[in-house]
Amino acid sequence: MRAIAVYEAKNRFSEMIAAVEQGEEITITRHGAPVARLVAISVASSTDPEQRQRVRGAMTDLRRRGADMELGCSLSDAIQAGRD
């Protein structure tokens, strides 16, 4: 896996896509810190079954917790408050 700075990535995007199509993973960095990873779709979509189960469990837990919560105002008021 190679790392490329954001400014370099935008100038070499086509080259990076070609490398990813060949199976390479590229980490994009900003000021030396990783901010994104470019991988082929086939790699990104082949997630670990255990991870899928953990995500499914987390989503179920969030839905259960949210079912008992009240906003204390209308939904439109809550959305507007979040924008302020």
pLDDT at 65: 82
The count of residues in the chain is 84
SS3 of the chain: helix, strand, coil, percent, to 5: 55, 20, 25
pLDDT at 52: 81
Average pLDDT over residues 60-76: 81
For residue range 3-51, what is the model confidence (pLDDT) as tens digits?
Answer: 999 999 999 999 999 999 998 999 999 999 999 999 988 765 666 778 7
Q: pTM above the 0.85 mark?
A: no
With tokens 């469990």, the residue in question is 57
Beta strands 26-30 and 2-5 are parallel
Structure tokens at 39: 């991988």
pLDDT at 48: 73
Sign of CA dihedral 13, 18, 20, 21: positive
